Structure 1
Amino acid sequence: MGLNDIIQASPIGRFFELEERKTNFSTEFRGAVATFLTMAYILAVNPAILADSGGPCVAADGNIFSPDYLACKDAIKREYITATAISAMIGCFVMGVMANLPVALAPGMGLNAYFTFGVVGFHGTGKIGFEAAVTAVLIEGFIFLILALTGVRYFVAKLIPEPVRHATPAAIGAFLAHLGFQTAEGIGIVVGDVATAVTLGGCAEEDRVSLVALDEACFNNGGFDCIPGGTYTCDNTESSMTSATAWVGILGLLLTGILLSYKSRFAFVVGIGFISIISWFRNTEITYFPDNDAGNARYEYFQQVVSIEKLDKLLVPFSDDLKQVAVALITFLYVDFLDTSGTLLAIVSSMGVVDENGDFPKSRWAFSADAIATIVGSLFGLSPVTSYIESGAGVEAGSKTGLTAVIVGFFFFLSIFFAPIIASIPPWATGGSLIIVGALMSRSLIKIKWHIHSHAISAFITVMLMPLTYSIAYGLIGGMLSFAVLEGTFWILSKVGIAPPSYDEPGDEGEGKSAAGEEDKEEAAEAGAEETAPPAETSGEDAAPNKSEEANA
């Protein structure tokens, strides 16, 4: 009697319905490995993004680039590694046990960027304090839990304009790619510019010129009292693309892209891992441990290999000042709602368990598990925790039950002990992954009805505003307002006798889709029906799988 048979007949096998779902422990374990490897990058990327908020660190005399403040930020980054692993572990356990679905959870990409750059601000320069933002996440989790338990999510989803809903994942992807192209979290080939805001960078460190805030003190004292703006430009155009780390980052991007093209489950891990390892050698042009105070401190921590970081700075960082949280709360709820709904439906659709109403077994428990994970994550100062589309890798490997999610949770538990290694992953190793994740998230644009101008304009505004304003909230607001104004204007004009715009549906060179009249459309439809109708001799047994495949698609 093998291991699969033993587990199948055990209480664990019965609880996760292994026999009913025609799976076994080996298949679920293989799926868990695939899922964890495709989303393990979050352990390096999420702490780097959230640490840019500065967390609870306080800058003396307002200098957010002082050595003390940067040291506090590094400590926060290390704590965020542990916090990310713990929240992902708990989220996976809850999803697996409550919903029995092979869906893994972790702090959401896009949501973490909005938390840092859209709410708290880079190094805490936003209008909302860190503690208030975390409180908004906590409240959002409870609201989402109520929506999930009551089933209100279907009603809320209908209130969101269709083009904005489809454009949001791509817009967040563009934001993430924007970060991946820059220096703080990426490969550094996009830098600031005093004339054009951004320009081509990739210059070596000695060719970088810091951009400063030209306030009155800076202007009157010959530059001695200028505050760095946190970005830089290259000294001249000849110095562009001379940075070794930029080229290594591009190598990592291409390596990951090639492996993804061959459907490798190890693509992100290999891409990040390879670039990180070659960056750990000292006395090279691409080392993450240069021979200076900062580099030596990083190397000393890296040599520990195994360490458990305390959470004394991040644990329960809540605030009773709720006046600041309104905008953040609404956007957290909106984006998390869309992200979770889209991810869960995509994964369970690929499993073939979605009914004709768009629902699936234990759906309320699945959405509730996601909300509970967000509540738990807020206890550690995290942005919302959400379901990961990378769980589809496990489903493709055969996963069908929550046992996969539980095993992924165990992998995240093991990662808690290796914070020194994860903290030593350089930004140029993860920047390529951010760009690729952004590209993959752009797939949602195919659902937009580009031939309808109100859809195209509102979707495009959503996609463009998010990265250019460094704000997911502004992108969402711009997209929804533009859609409301356009459609509202059409409705008002229709009431005074002006017909609303009519649009031809896209087709093959417009055949059968012209506005020549309903008669032409009906004839084209009949012709299409005759061409696509199945042969009369097709049996019901042959036709059934086709219908099933269409439903799954």
Structure 2
Amino acid sequence: MGVFIDSIDEAVNESPVGRFFELKERGSKLSIEFRGALATFMSMAYILAVNPRIISDSGGPCPVPESGNLFDPEYSSCIEGVKKELITSTALASMFGCFAMGLGANLPVALAPGMGMNAYFTYSVVGFRGTGNISYESACTAVLIEGFIFLFLAVTGIRYWIIKFIPEPVRFATPAAIGAFLAHLGLQTAEGIGLVVSDIATAVTLGACPLSKRTPIVALTPDCAANTNFCVTSDAYTCDDEGGVMTSAMTWLGLLGMVIMLILLAYRWRSAFIVGISFVTFISWFRDTAVTYFPNDDIGDARFEYFKQVVSIEPLDKVLAPFTNELSDAGVALFTFLYVDFLDTSGTLLGIVSAMGYVNEEGDFSKSHFAYSADALATIFGSIFGLSPVTSYIESGSGVEAGSRTGLTAVFCGFFFFLSLFFAPIIASIPAWAIGGALIIVGSLMARSLAKVKWYDITDAATAFITVMVMPLTYSIAYGLIAGIGTYVVLQGTFHFLTLFGIEKPVFEDPELSQQEKSVDQTNSTKKDEKSDEEDADDENA
């Protein structure tokens, strides 16, 4: 089998496909790109289930009942239909984005509707079940316009000049910060193993309690205080009240999957992520177990019924082209979508491409115009199907760690998303605790970029550290970049301002380099003394 695969790899490398994707030049081959694509796709396949659930919480295009009852059975039924349609929308937009990135920019970066932006779209812009000030149609139109503005910035090159102002320590810290963000996701419940949960007193704490001992955390708004029917729950919960810390079988299974991946990686198995995720997923599909993804309740039964369909294609009757010209209140949402999408994409692309070693000294990389344009086009395409902005995914780092180096990985991911149009019930049934371990491992591997930071320079050290800390703790790549850049600008600006009063800017020296220079000086001095002694001896002999 190995000889057969090698022969195919060699044939593809010499084919027009291999030359187009520069497989040989980048030290890759078909089998490596395929494995990397599987690792990336399986790490981000949760978006097929999570994104529709979040966006459908906005109520979509479903009209709010005249009675004002947000839980009216007919209204809820309409939202359930929107949720199923959004699975198809998510797969279509992700497929388009992956194809655009792979064929246009030749990068192993997969795209999908962005986590964080979908929550902002639903809960801050449209509001839970349409309780916000902006309609679902206005929000989708704002996303469409944002995509065109982003495309303009990418095509004209203005985007590059904006990126050039990102300081060096921020560029070096970004991959590690994204890695910390990935690990943060992997440690939580929504996309991970549930080891870290919410806490009333300390914000976060050790969790891993079973479903029966979880207490959901809600926002105590005036509406919620007056009527519990208006309390919006989420994936956040605490184990404080019921206890049961570290007794969740799902967490332990997720940890087992992570250990399996780590051991296989230590033996340089490129399929480590695929094996680990598949192992945990397969075990989680059995019913009547402590780790089942299909518990014996209404949610579990609904999941299982959908899972049993295996093949299902949802029509797009409600969410197709939901645009409007009523944009009077959408200005803030438009601006927010733009800057978050721009900074998220910039941080993700720079982080992943830096991990591959393809970023030049100026902080740019080959075909960057195409990469950012692909991201913008995917956002435009996604808005047509009722989605929040589509962006480059940090989970692509799992494919890069598996060996991916070319856009063929993104093309394969696009093909997998195409298949998910038909097998959405299967793909949507990959549990979060099967994915969390992979995200944690990828995060740890991406931390090596911190070795390039000038830690002896307090300006660079503080900038890099704040970038790494703020990004996962605020759950936003954009906020991490803003914090890092802001810190650098304030410090450098202060130093330059003080020079106006004769206070020179401090000079930070590398202690290791200084020690090496001292060692060299001492060695040279010793050699000079020895040479001088030899000359004196020669003079005496003469």
RMSD, matched Cα: 4.2
Describe the SS at the equivalent of 1:439: helix
1:281 Cα deviation (Å)? 1.0
- Mean Cα displacement is larger for which, 450-459 or 295-304? 450-459
Cα distance 1:228–1:214, how it changes in 2: closer, same or farther (>3 A)?
same
1:162 aligns with 2:202: no
Given that 2:223 and 2:231 are in contact with CA atoms closer than 8 Å, whether structure 1 keeps it comes out as no
Hey, what does 1:184 align to over in structure 2? 190
Hey, what does 2:31 align to over in structure 1? 30
1:286 aligns with 2:291: yes
Match of 1:87 among 89, 93, 104: 93
Hey, what does 2:247 align to over in structure 1? 242
Name stretches of at least 5 consecutive residues in structure 2 with no aligned partner.
Answer: 1-6, 526-542
In structure 2, C-alpha distance between the alignment counterparts of 1:245 and 1:141, rounded to whole Å? 39
Given that 1:32 and 1:408 are in contact with CA atoms closer than 8 Å, whether structure 2 keeps it comes out as no
Q: Which aligned pairs between 1:122-271 and structure 2 lie closer than 5 A?
A: 124=127, 134-135=140-141, 137-214=143-220, 227=231, 229-230=233-234, 231-235=236-240, 239-271=244-276
Paired AA for residue 328 in structure 1: F
Given that 1:88 and 1:385 are in contact with CA atoms closer than 8 Å, whether structure 2 keeps it comes out as no
Describe the SS at the equivalent of 1:94: helix
In structure 1, C-alpha distance between the alignment counterparts of 2:299 and 2:351, rounded to whole Å? 42
Cα distance 1:79–1:172, how it changes in 2: closer, same or farther (>3 A)?
farther
Given that 1:54 and 1:73 are in contact with CA atoms closer than 8 Å, whether structure 2 keeps it comes out as no
1:302 Cα deviation (Å)? 0.6
Given that 2:214 and 2:242 are in contact with CA atoms closer than 8 Å, whether structure 1 keeps it comes out as no
Hey, what does 1:40 align to over in structure 2? 41
1:407 Cα deviation (Å)? 4.9
Given that 2:348 and 2:392 are in contact with CA atoms closer than 8 Å, whether structure 1 keeps it comes out as yes
1:480 aligns with 2:485: yes
Q: Deviations 1:245-275 (Å, cap 9, x if unpaired)?
A: 1211222222233333333332332222221
Cα distance 1:252–1:69, how it changes in 2: closer, same or farther (>3 A)?
farther
1:317 Cα deviation (Å)? 4.4
Cα distance 1:269–1:288, how it changes in 2: closer, same or farther (>3 A)?
same
In structure 2, C-alpha distance between the alignment counterparts of 1:174 and 1:310, rounded to whole Å? 38
Q: Which aligned pairs between 1:533-548 and structure 2 lie closer than 5 A?
A: none
Match of 1:432 among 434, 437, 457: 437
In structure 2, C-alpha distance between the alignment counterparts of 1:376 and 1:525, rounded to whole Å? 65
1:490 Cα deviation (Å)? 1.1
1:462 aligns with 2:467: yes
Hey, what does 1:114 align to over in structure 2? 116
Q: Deviations 1:358-394 (Å, cap 9, x if unpaired)?
A: 8776554454344433432343315333374456468
In structure 2, C-alpha distance between the alignment counterparts of 1:169 and 1:20, rounded to whole Å? 24
Q: Which aligned pairs between 1:220-369 and structure 2 lie closer than 5 A?
A: 227=231, 229-230=233-234, 231-235=236-240, 239-318=244-323, 320=327, 321-344=330-353, 347=356, 349=358, 364-369=369-374
Paired AA for residue 243 in structure 1: S
Cα distance 1:325–1:260, how it changes in 2: closer, same or farther (>3 A)?
farther
Cα distance 1:67–1:88, how it changes in 2: closer, same or farther (>3 A)?
same
In structure 2, C-alpha distance between the alignment counterparts of 1:47 and 1:181, rounded to whole Å? 20
1:429 Cα deviation (Å)? 1.9
- Mean Cα displacement is larger for which, 403-412 or 305-314? 403-412
Given that 1:374 and 1:386 are in contact with CA atoms closer than 8 Å, whether structure 2 keeps it comes out as no
Given that 2:48 and 2:427 are in contact with CA atoms closer than 8 Å, whether structure 1 keeps it comes out as no
Q: Which aligned pairs between 1:63-78 and structure 2 lie closer than 5 A?
A: 78=84
Describe the SS at the equivalent of 1:53: helix
Q: Deviations 1:36-86 (Å, cap 9, x if unpaired)?
A: 212112552223443453346338899999999987777666545433433
Cα distance 1:180–1:80, how it changes in 2: closer, same or farther (>3 A)?
farther
Paired AA for residue 446 in structure 1: A
Paired AA for residue 332 in structure 1: D
In structure 2, C-alpha distance between the alignment counterparts of 1:85 and 1:525, rounded to whole Å? 65
Paired AA for residue 439 in structure 2: L
Using structure 2 for the length normalisation, give the TM-score: 0.76
The percentage of aligned residue pairs carrying the same residue is 46
Describe the SS at the equivalent of 2:288: coil
In structure 2, C-alpha distance between the alignment counterparts of 1:503 and 1:417, rounded to whole Å? 59
In structure 2, C-alpha distance between the alignment counterparts of 1:5 and 1:458, rounded to whole Å? 45
Paired AA for residue 256 in structure 1: M
Given that 2:108 and 2:410 are in contact with CA atoms closer than 8 Å, whether structure 1 keeps it comes out as yes
1:420 Cα deviation (Å)? 0.5
Paired AA for residue 288 in structure 1: Y
Hey, what does 1:494 align to over in structure 2? 499
1:333 Cα deviation (Å)? 1.0
Paired AA for residue 418 in structure 2: F
Cα distance 1:240–1:155, how it changes in 2: closer, same or farther (>3 A)?
same
Using structure 1 for the length normalisation, give the TM-score: 0.75
Cα distance 1:133–1:182, how it changes in 2: closer, same or farther (>3 A)?
farther
In structure 1, C-alpha distance between the alignment counterparts of 2:211 and 2:20, rounded to whole Å? 59
In structure 1, C-alpha distance between the alignment counterparts of 2:364 and 2:183, rounded to whole Å? 33
Cα distance 1:119–1:54, how it changes in 2: closer, same or farther (>3 A)?
closer
Q: Which aligned pairs between 1:45-64 and structure 2 lie closer than 5 A?
A: 45-51=46-52, 53-55=54-56, 57-58=58-59
Match of 2:450 among 427, 442, 445: 445
Given that 1:128 and 1:324 are in contact with CA atoms closer than 8 Å, whether structure 2 keeps it comes out as no
Describe the SS at the equivalent of 2:320: coil
Given that 1:181 and 1:431 are in contact with CA atoms closer than 8 Å, whether structure 2 keeps it comes out as yes
In structure 2, C-alpha distance between the alignment counterparts of 1:90 and 1:382, rounded to whole Å? 15
Hey, what does 1:551 align to over in structure 2? none
In structure 2, C-alpha distance between the alignment counterparts of 1:90 and 1:431, rounded to whole Å? 26
Hey, what does 1:531 align to over in structure 2? none
1:136 Cα deviation (Å)? 5.2
Describe the SS at the equivalent of 1:385: strand
Given that 1:163 and 1:458 are in contact with CA atoms closer than 8 Å, whether structure 2 keeps it comes out as yes
In structure 1, C-alpha distance between the alignment counterparts of 2:177 and 2:381, rounded to whole Å? 27
Given that 1:132 and 1:325 are in contact with CA atoms closer than 8 Å, whether structure 2 keeps it comes out as no
Given that 1:29 and 1:407 are in contact with CA atoms closer than 8 Å, whether structure 2 keeps it comes out as no
Given that 2:170 and 2:464 are in contact with CA atoms closer than 8 Å, whether structure 1 keeps it comes out as yes
Cα distance 1:453–1:245, how it changes in 2: closer, same or farther (>3 A)?
same
